[in-house]
Chain A
Protein backbone atom coordinates (compact mmCIF):
# COMPACT_ATOMS: atom_id res chain seq x y z
CA UNK A 1 0.00 0.00 0.00
CA UNK A 2 1.09 3.56 -0.59
CA UNK A 3 2.39 5.38 2.45
CA UNK A 4 -0.18 8.14 2.05
CA UNK A 5 -2.98 5.73 2.98
CA UNK A 6 -2.27 5.21 6.67
CA UNK A 7 -5.89 4.41 7.55
CA UNK A 8 -6.16 1.75 4.87
CA UNK A 9 -2.91 0.25 6.05
CA UNK A 10 -4.15 0.21 9.63
CA UNK A 11 -7.32 -1.61 8.55
CA UNK A 12 -5.28 -4.23 6.68
CA UNK A 13 -2.92 -4.72 9.62
CA UNK A 14 -5.87 -5.01 12.00
CA UNK A 15 -7.50 -7.73 9.88
CA UNK A 16 -4.33 -9.79 10.03
CA UNK A 17 -4.98 -10.66 13.68
CA UNK A 18 -7.56 -13.18 12.41
CA UNK A 19 -6.27 -16.77 12.16
CA UNK A 20 -5.22 -17.80 8.66
CA UNK A 21 -5.32 -14.23 7.35
CA UNK A 22 -2.13 -13.07 5.68
CA UNK A 23 -1.32 -9.84 3.89
CA UNK A 24 -3.11 -10.74 0.64
CA UNK A 25 -6.32 -11.95 2.28
CA UNK A 26 -6.35 -8.93 4.57
CA UNK A 27 -6.13 -6.64 1.56
CA UNK A 28 -9.02 -8.41 -0.14
CA UNK A 29 -11.10 -8.21 3.04
CA UNK A 30 -10.36 -4.51 3.47
CA UNK A 31 -11.38 -3.67 -0.10
CA UNK A 32 -14.48 -5.81 0.24
CA UNK A 33 -15.55 -3.98 3.40
CA UNK A 34 -15.01 -0.59 1.79
CA UNK A 35 -16.78 -1.54 -1.42
CA UNK A 36 -19.80 -3.23 0.16
CA UNK A 37 -22.73 -1.64 1.94
CA UNK A 38 -21.18 0.96 4.27
CA UNK A 39 -23.88 0.26 6.86
CA UNK A 40 -22.90 -3.41 7.13
CA UNK A 41 -19.24 -2.59 7.59
CA UNK A 42 -20.07 -0.10 10.32
CA UNK A 43 -22.24 -2.74 12.00
CA UNK A 44 -19.36 -5.21 11.92
CA UNK A 45 -17.08 -2.67 13.55
CA UNK A 46 -19.65 -1.84 16.20
CA UNK A 47 -20.46 -5.43 17.09
CA UNK A 48 -16.76 -6.30 17.40
CA UNK A 49 -16.14 -3.51 19.88
CA UNK A 50 -19.30 -4.29 21.82
CA UNK A 51 -18.54 -8.02 21.99
CA UNK A 52 -14.94 -7.52 23.05
CA UNK A 53 -16.03 -5.06 25.69
CA UNK A 54 -18.95 -7.03 27.12
CA UNK A 55 -18.15 -10.72 26.70
CA UNK A 56 -16.33 -12.09 29.72
CA UNK A 57 -15.86 -15.47 31.35
CA UNK A 58 -18.75 -17.14 33.14
CA UNK A 59 -18.10 -16.90 36.87
CA UNK A 60 -18.97 -20.59 37.31
CA UNK A 61 -17.62 -22.49 34.26
CA UNK A 62 -15.27 -19.96 32.59
CA UNK A 63 -17.04 -20.20 29.21
CA UNK A 64 -17.63 -16.96 27.31
CA UNK A 65 -20.74 -15.03 28.21
CA UNK A 66 -21.97 -11.47 28.48
CA UNK A 67 -23.82 -12.29 31.70
CA UNK A 68 -22.21 -13.10 35.03
CA UNK A 69 -23.39 -16.69 34.59
CA UNK A 70 -23.65 -18.32 31.14
CA UNK A 71 -26.82 -19.92 29.76
CA UNK A 72 -25.60 -23.48 30.42
CA UNK A 73 -24.80 -22.80 34.07
CA UNK A 74 -28.07 -20.87 34.45
CA UNK A 75 -30.07 -23.83 33.09
CA UNK A 76 -31.51 -25.47 36.21
CA UNK A 77 -32.90 -28.43 34.23
CA UNK A 78 -29.47 -30.00 33.90
CA UNK A 79 -28.07 -32.92 35.86
CA UNK A 80 -26.16 -31.34 38.72
CA UNK A 81 -24.39 -34.56 39.66
CA UNK A 82 -22.22 -34.50 36.52
CA UNK A 83 -19.45 -32.08 35.71
CA UNK A 84 -17.59 -32.36 32.41
CA UNK A 85 -14.12 -30.81 32.04
CA UNK A 86 -13.30 -29.56 28.54
CA UNK A 87 -10.38 -27.61 27.08
CA UNK A 88 -12.31 -25.06 25.03
CA UNK A 89 -15.74 -23.59 24.26
CA UNK A 90 -15.65 -25.41 20.90
CA UNK A 91 -15.18 -28.73 22.72
CA UNK A 92 -18.21 -27.86 24.86
CA UNK A 93 -20.27 -27.17 21.74
CA UNK A 94 -19.12 -30.43 20.15
CA UNK A 95 -20.27 -32.40 23.19
CA UNK A 96 -23.56 -30.50 23.39
CA UNK A 97 -24.31 -31.14 19.72
CA UNK A 98 -22.89 -34.64 19.41
CA UNK A 99 -23.82 -36.37 22.66
CA UNK A 100 -26.82 -36.68 24.92
CA UNK A 101 -24.85 -35.24 27.83
CA UNK A 102 -26.90 -32.71 29.80
CA UNK A 103 -24.82 -32.09 32.88
CA UNK A 104 -22.69 -29.04 33.62
CA UNK A 105 -19.26 -28.08 32.31
CA UNK A 106 -16.02 -26.48 33.35
CA UNK A 107 -14.02 -24.89 30.53
CA UNK A 108 -10.25 -24.81 31.09
CA UNK A 109 -9.53 -22.47 28.16
CA UNK A 110 -6.41 -24.50 27.37
CA UNK A 111 -4.42 -27.43 28.70
CA UNK A 112 -1.39 -27.74 30.92
CA UNK A 113 1.63 -26.91 28.80
CA UNK A 114 4.62 -25.75 30.83
CA UNK A 115 6.65 -24.93 27.71
CA UNK A 116 3.95 -22.45 26.73
CA UNK A 117 3.76 -21.11 30.27
CA UNK A 118 0.38 -22.68 31.01
CA UNK A 119 0.10 -24.09 34.53
CA UNK A 120 -2.76 -24.90 36.95
CA UNK A 121 -3.32 -21.23 37.71
CA UNK A 122 -3.89 -20.28 34.07
CA UNK A 123 -6.53 -23.02 33.76
CA UNK A 124 -8.48 -21.78 36.76
CA UNK A 125 -8.00 -24.98 38.74
CA UNK A 126 -8.52 -23.07 41.99
CA UNK A 127 -12.00 -22.18 40.80
CA UNK A 128 -12.61 -25.76 39.69
CA UNK A 129 -11.66 -26.90 43.19
CA UNK A 130 -14.34 -24.67 44.67
CA UNK A 131 -16.78 -26.23 42.26
CA UNK A 132 -15.81 -29.74 43.37
CA UNK A 133 -16.72 -28.86 46.94
CA UNK A 134 -20.37 -28.40 46.07
CA UNK A 135 -22.35 -31.32 47.49
CA UNK A 136 -24.38 -32.12 44.35
CA UNK A 137 -21.36 -33.06 42.22
CA UNK A 138 -20.84 -36.85 42.04
CA UNK A 139 -19.03 -37.56 38.77
CA UNK A 140 -16.32 -35.53 37.04
CA UNK A 141 -15.89 -36.39 33.36
CA UNK A 142 -12.38 -35.68 32.11
CA UNK A 143 -12.89 -34.78 28.45
CA UNK A 144 -9.47 -33.27 27.71
CA UNK A 145 -7.74 -34.26 24.47
CA UNK A 146 -5.80 -37.49 24.00
CA UNK A 147 -2.48 -35.69 23.63
CA UNK A 148 0.39 -35.73 26.09
CA UNK A 149 -0.64 -32.36 27.53
CA UNK A 150 -4.29 -33.42 27.57
CA UNK A 151 -3.40 -36.55 29.54
CA UNK A 152 -1.29 -34.61 32.02
CA UNK A 153 -4.15 -32.15 32.47
CA UNK A 154 -6.62 -35.00 33.03
CA UNK A 155 -4.33 -36.57 35.57
CA UNK A 156 -3.75 -33.41 37.58
CA UNK A 157 -7.51 -32.75 37.70
CA UNK A 158 -8.15 -36.43 38.48
CA UNK A 159 -5.97 -36.02 41.57
CA UNK A 160 -8.04 -33.02 42.66
CA UNK A 161 -11.22 -35.02 42.16
CA UNK A 162 -9.91 -37.87 44.30
CA UNK A 163 -9.16 -35.43 47.09
CA UNK A 164 -12.92 -34.82 47.39
CA UNK A 165 -13.82 -38.52 47.10
CA UNK A 166 -15.72 -38.05 43.86
CA UNK A 167 -15.89 -40.38 40.89
CA UNK A 168 -13.76 -39.39 37.91
CA UNK A 169 -14.24 -40.81 34.41
CA UNK A 170 -12.23 -40.33 31.22
CA UNK A 171 -13.45 -40.52 27.63
CA UNK A 172 -12.58 -43.88 26.05
CA UNK A 173 -10.04 -44.19 23.25
CA UNK A 174 -10.48 -46.60 20.40
CA UNK A 175 -11.29 -47.36 16.80
CA UNK A 176 -13.29 -44.47 15.32
CA UNK A 177 -16.71 -45.26 13.90
CA UNK A 178 -16.27 -46.21 10.24
CA UNK A 179 -12.56 -46.78 10.78
CA UNK A 180 -10.85 -49.72 9.09
CA UNK A 181 -7.92 -51.10 11.01
CA UNK A 182 -5.43 -51.05 8.16
CA UNK A 183 -5.86 -47.30 7.77
CA UNK A 184 -5.56 -46.41 11.45
CA UNK A 185 -2.42 -44.69 12.65
CA UNK A 186 -0.30 -46.87 14.92
CA UNK A 187 -0.88 -44.80 18.06
CA UNK A 188 -4.66 -45.05 17.80
CA UNK A 189 -4.52 -48.72 16.89
CA UNK A 190 -2.24 -49.75 19.74
CA UNK A 191 -4.22 -47.65 22.22
CA UNK A 192 -7.48 -49.22 21.05
CA UNK A 193 -5.96 -52.68 21.28
CA UNK A 194 -4.64 -52.12 24.80
CA UNK A 195 -7.97 -50.81 26.04
CA UNK A 196 -10.12 -53.57 24.50
CA UNK A 197 -13.16 -54.56 26.55
CA UNK A 198 -15.18 -57.73 27.17
CA UNK A 199 -17.66 -58.40 24.40
Chain B
Protein backbone atom coordinates (compact mmCIF):
# COMPACT_ATOMS: atom_id res chain seq x y z
CA UNK B 1 0.00 0.00 0.00
CA UNK B 2 1.23 3.48 -0.84
CA UNK B 3 -0.44 6.70 0.25
CA UNK B 4 0.56 9.86 -1.59
CA UNK B 5 0.77 13.30 -0.03
CA UNK B 6 -1.95 13.01 2.56
CA UNK B 7 -2.62 16.06 4.72
CA UNK B 8 -1.35 15.45 8.27
CA UNK B 9 -0.11 16.90 11.53
CA UNK B 10 2.76 15.37 13.49
CA UNK B 11 1.67 14.44 17.03
CA UNK B 12 4.82 12.95 18.48
CA UNK B 13 8.17 11.50 17.50
CA UNK B 14 10.42 9.08 19.29
CA UNK B 15 13.97 8.06 18.44
CA UNK B 16 14.10 4.56 17.01
CA UNK B 17 17.39 2.72 16.59
CA UNK B 18 20.39 4.87 15.71
CA UNK B 19 19.10 7.13 12.97
CA UNK B 20 15.42 6.31 12.59
CA UNK B 21 12.40 8.00 14.03
CA UNK B 22 8.99 6.68 15.01
CA UNK B 23 6.54 9.28 13.80
CA UNK B 24 2.98 9.50 15.15
CA UNK B 25 0.74 11.58 12.92
CA UNK B 26 -2.91 12.52 12.59
CA UNK B 27 -3.90 12.26 8.95
CA UNK B 28 -6.96 13.45 7.04
CA UNK B 29 -8.05 10.08 5.64
CA UNK B 30 -6.35 7.40 7.73
CA UNK B 31 -6.74 8.76 11.27
CA UNK B 32 -3.78 8.30 13.59
CA UNK B 33 -0.88 6.50 11.89
CA UNK B 34 2.46 5.27 13.21
CA UNK B 35 5.26 5.60 10.67
CA UNK B 36 8.93 4.75 10.67
CA UNK B 37 11.21 7.31 9.13
CA UNK B 38 14.54 5.74 8.32
CA UNK B 39 17.55 8.01 8.31
CA UNK B 40 15.12 10.66 9.50
CA UNK B 41 17.58 13.47 10.06
CA UNK B 42 19.32 13.08 6.71
CA UNK B 43 16.21 12.58 4.64
CA UNK B 44 13.73 15.01 6.12
CA UNK B 45 15.98 17.48 7.91
CA UNK B 46 13.97 19.09 10.64
CA UNK B 47 10.67 18.99 8.78
CA UNK B 48 9.08 16.43 11.07
CA UNK B 49 7.76 18.86 13.68
CA UNK B 50 4.37 19.31 15.30
CA UNK B 51 2.18 22.40 14.73
CA UNK B 52 2.79 22.47 11.00
CA UNK B 53 0.40 21.14 8.41
CA UNK B 54 2.28 18.76 6.19
CA UNK B 55 1.71 16.25 3.43
CA UNK B 56 3.02 12.77 4.06
CA UNK B 57 3.75 10.00 1.62
CA UNK B 58 4.10 6.55 3.13
CA UNK B 59 4.12 2.92 2.09
CA UNK B 60 4.24 -0.50 3.63
CA UNK B 61 2.34 -3.58 4.60
CA UNK B 62 0.88 -4.69 7.91
CA UNK B 63 1.87 -2.74 10.96
CA UNK B 64 5.15 -1.45 9.57
CA UNK B 65 4.63 1.71 7.54
CA UNK B 66 7.55 3.70 6.18
CA UNK B 67 7.48 7.44 5.83
CA UNK B 68 8.85 8.29 2.37
CA UNK B 69 8.30 11.99 1.93
CA UNK B 70 7.33 15.10 3.88
CA UNK B 71 6.17 18.39 2.40
CA UNK B 72 5.26 21.35 4.57
CA UNK B 73 2.33 23.62 3.85
CA UNK B 74 2.83 26.63 6.04
CA UNK B 75 4.46 27.18 9.35
CA UNK B 76 2.48 27.80 12.51
CA UNK B 77 5.63 27.46 14.54
CA UNK B 78 5.45 29.42 17.75
CA UNK B 79 7.47 29.85 20.87
CA UNK B 80 4.41 30.39 23.03
CA UNK B 81 4.67 28.11 26.03
CA UNK B 82 0.92 27.83 26.67
CA UNK B 83 0.36 26.74 23.07
CA UNK B 84 3.10 24.13 23.31
CA UNK B 85 1.73 22.67 26.52
CA UNK B 86 -1.83 22.65 25.20
CA UNK B 87 -0.62 20.87 22.09
CA UNK B 88 1.28 18.29 24.13
CA UNK B 89 -1.93 17.74 26.04
CA UNK B 90 -4.26 17.22 23.09
CA UNK B 91 -1.62 15.15 21.31
CA UNK B 92 -1.48 12.85 24.32
CA UNK B 93 -5.28 12.49 24.31
CA UNK B 94 -5.26 11.67 20.60
CA UNK B 95 -2.49 9.11 20.92
CA UNK B 96 -3.96 7.40 23.95
CA UNK B 97 -7.65 7.44 23.09
CA UNK B 98 -7.77 7.04 19.30
CA UNK B 99 -6.91 3.58 17.95
CA UNK B 100 -4.34 3.53 15.16
CA UNK B 101 -5.70 3.70 11.61
CA UNK B 102 -9.35 4.24 12.44
CA UNK B 103 -10.31 6.84 9.83
CA UNK B 104 -12.34 9.79 11.09
CA UNK B 105 -12.15 12.85 8.83
CA UNK B 106 -14.08 14.89 11.41
CA UNK B 107 -11.23 14.29 13.87
CA UNK B 108 -8.76 15.92 11.51
CA UNK B 109 -11.06 18.93 11.08
CA UNK B 110 -11.57 19.16 14.84
CA UNK B 111 -7.82 19.09 15.44
CA UNK B 112 -7.11 21.70 12.79
CA UNK B 113 -9.77 24.07 14.14
CA UNK B 114 -8.61 23.58 17.73
CA UNK B 115 -4.99 24.21 16.77
CA UNK B 116 -6.01 27.41 15.00
CA UNK B 117 -7.88 28.63 18.09
CA UNK B 118 -5.13 27.61 20.50
CA UNK B 119 -2.43 29.43 18.60
CA UNK B 120 -4.58 32.54 18.39
CA UNK B 121 -5.57 32.66 22.06
CA UNK B 122 -3.31 30.40 24.11
CA UNK B 123 -5.02 31.22 27.41
CA UNK B 124 -8.50 30.17 26.28
CA UNK B 125 -9.15 26.95 28.16
CA UNK B 126 -12.64 26.69 26.74
CA UNK B 127 -11.33 25.43 23.44
CA UNK B 128 -9.60 22.56 25.24
CA UNK B 129 -12.88 21.61 26.93
CA UNK B 130 -14.72 21.78 23.60
CA UNK B 131 -12.02 19.59 22.08
CA UNK B 132 -12.38 17.01 24.86
CA UNK B 133 -16.17 16.82 24.40
CA UNK B 134 -15.97 16.43 20.64
CA UNK B 135 -13.11 13.96 20.81
CA UNK B 136 -15.16 11.72 23.11
CA UNK B 137 -18.10 11.91 20.70
CA UNK B 138 -15.94 11.00 17.71
CA UNK B 139 -14.42 7.96 19.41
CA UNK B 140 -17.84 6.61 20.28
CA UNK B 141 -18.62 8.12 23.68
CA UNK B 142 -20.93 11.06 22.90
CA UNK B 143 -22.05 12.88 26.03
CA UNK B 144 -25.72 13.12 26.86
CA UNK B 145 -25.80 16.13 29.16
CA UNK B 146 -29.31 17.55 29.35
CA UNK B 147 -31.60 14.67 30.24
CA UNK B 148 -31.89 12.78 33.54
CA UNK B 149 -32.28 9.33 32.03
CA UNK B 150 -33.39 7.62 35.24
CA UNK B 151 -36.17 10.01 36.15
CA UNK B 152 -37.08 10.88 32.55
CA UNK B 153 -36.75 14.59 33.23
CA UNK B 154 -34.91 17.43 31.54
CA UNK B 155 -31.85 18.63 33.49
CA UNK B 156 -32.58 21.76 35.51
CA UNK B 157 -30.01 24.46 36.15
CA UNK B 158 -30.67 24.71 39.91
CA UNK B 159 -30.42 20.97 40.65
CA UNK B 160 -27.43 18.72 41.34
CA UNK B 161 -26.50 15.65 39.32
CA UNK B 162 -24.21 12.64 39.20
CA UNK B 163 -22.95 11.70 35.74
CA UNK B 164 -22.85 8.07 34.63
CA UNK B 165 -20.43 7.44 31.72
CA UNK B 166 -22.11 6.41 28.47
CA UNK B 167 -25.54 7.05 30.04
CA UNK B 168 -25.98 10.58 31.36
CA UNK B 169 -26.91 12.64 34.42
CA UNK B 170 -28.96 11.39 37.36
CA UNK B 171 -30.56 13.72 39.91
CA UNK B 172 -28.63 13.83 43.18
CA UNK B 173 -29.32 15.37 46.61
CA UNK B 174 -26.26 17.65 46.58
CA UNK B 175 -22.71 18.15 45.39
CA UNK B 176 -19.84 16.01 46.57
CA UNK B 177 -16.10 15.96 45.94
CA UNK B 178 -16.01 13.37 43.16
CA UNK B 179 -15.48 14.22 39.49
CA UNK B 180 -18.90 12.93 38.45
CA UNK B 181 -20.81 15.34 40.68
CA UNK B 182 -21.86 18.65 39.12
CA UNK B 183 -24.58 21.25 38.88
CA UNK B 184 -27.36 21.33 36.31
CA UNK B 185 -26.05 24.72 35.20
CA UNK B 186 -22.64 23.27 34.31
CA UNK B 187 -24.29 20.40 32.42
CA UNK B 188 -26.53 22.73 30.44
CA UNK B 189 -23.68 25.11 29.61
CA UNK B 190 -21.58 22.22 28.37
CA UNK B 191 -24.50 20.90 26.31
CA UNK B 192 -24.83 24.34 24.73
CA UNK B 193 -21.09 24.52 24.07
CA UNK B 194 -20.76 27.55 26.33
CA UNK B 195 -17.35 27.40 27.98
CA UNK B 196 -17.03 31.04 28.94
CA UNK B 197 -18.91 30.67 32.17
CA UNK B 198 -17.84 30.61 35.79
CA UNK B 199 -18.51 26.87 35.61
CA UNK B 200 -15.34 26.29 33.62
CA UNK B 201 -13.37 24.88 36.61
CA UNK B 202 -16.23 22.45 37.35
CA UNK B 203 -16.33 21.36 33.71
CA UNK B 204 -12.59 20.89 33.72
CA UNK B 205 -12.73 18.65 36.79
CA UNK B 206 -15.63 16.68 35.33
CA UNK B 207 -13.99 16.13 31.94
CA UNK B 208 -10.70 15.24 33.58
CA UNK B 209 -12.46 12.51 35.56
CA UNK B 210 -14.36 11.29 32.52
CA UNK B 211 -11.21 11.13 30.39
CA UNK B 212 -9.42 9.19 33.12
CA UNK B 213 -12.39 6.82 33.20
CA UNK B 214 -11.92 6.14 29.47
CA UNK B 215 -8.15 5.88 30.01
CA UNK B 216 -8.93 3.09 32.48
CA UNK B 217 -7.93 5.09 35.53
CA UNK B 218 -4.53 6.09 34.18
CA UNK B 219 -3.82 9.80 34.53
CA UNK B 220 -3.04 12.12 31.63
CA UNK B 221 0.74 12.42 31.83
CA UNK B 222 0.97 15.94 30.43
CA UNK B 223 -1.25 17.08 33.28
CA UNK B 224 0.51 15.04 35.91
CA UNK B 225 4.06 15.91 34.92
CA UNK B 226 3.66 19.52 33.84
CA UNK B 227 0.89 20.34 36.34
CA UNK B 228 -1.19 22.18 33.77
CA UNK B 229 -4.44 22.11 31.76
Contact = CB atoms under 8 A, between A and B. Distances in A.
Given A148-B87, A191-B75, A115 B49 contact: no
A186 B72 contact: yes
Contact of B51 (A119, A148, A152, A185): A148
A187 to B, nearest CB: 5
A41 B131 CA distance: 58
Contacts of B77: 187, 190-191
A147 interface: yes
Nearest to A159: B81
Contacts of B156: none
A186 B75 contact: yes
B45 A185 contact: yes
A45 interface: no
Interface in A170-196: 185-191
B75 A112 contact: no
A189 B74 CA distance: 11
B92 A114 contact: yes
A190 B91 CA distance: 23
Given A114-B224, A186-B75, A187-B72, A148 B19 contact: no
A190 B76 CA distance: 9
Given A19-B17, A147-B49, A152-B226, A186 B74 contact: yes
B64 to A, nearest CB: 14
Contact of A187 (B19, B49, B81): B49
A48 interface: no
Nearest to A118: B225
A198 interface: no
Contacts of A188: 46
Contact of B221 (A19, A115, A155, A185): A115
B225 A148 contact: no
Contact of A148 (B88, B92, B95, B226): B88
A151 B79 contact: yes
Contacts, number: 71
Contact of A114 (B17, B46, B225): B225
B84 interface: yes
A190 B225 CA distance: 31
A19 B18 contact: yes
A152 B84 contact: yes
A156 B88 CA distance: 14
Interface in A96-143: 112, 114-120
A117 to B, nearest CB: 6
B46 to A, nearest CB: 6
A20 interface: yes
A152 B81 contact: yes
Contact of A152 (B47, B73, B88): B88
Interface in B210-229: 221-222, 224-226
Interface in B49-78: 49-52, 72-75, 77
Contacts of A156: 226
Interface string B88-102: 100110010000000
Contacts of A186: 52, 72-75
Contacts of B49: 147-148, 187
Interface string B18-29: 110000000000
Contacts of B95: 115
In order of increasing CB-CB distance, the 8 nearest A-B pairs are A119-B225, A20-B18, A19-B18, A114-B221, A155-B81, A190-B75, A114-B222, A186-B75
Interface of A: 19-20, 112, 114-120, 147-149, 151-152, 155-156, 185-191
12 contacts: A19-B17, A115-B88, A119-B225, A120-B225, A148-B87, A149-B88, A155-B84, A156-B226, A185-B46, A186-B75, A187-B52, A190-B75
Given A19-B17, A114-B221, A148-B51, 15 more contacts: A19-B18, A20-B17, A112-B225, A115-B12, A115-B88, A115-B92, A115-B221, A119-B224, A148-B87, A149-B88, A151-B84, A152-B226, A185-B72, A187-B52, A189-B75
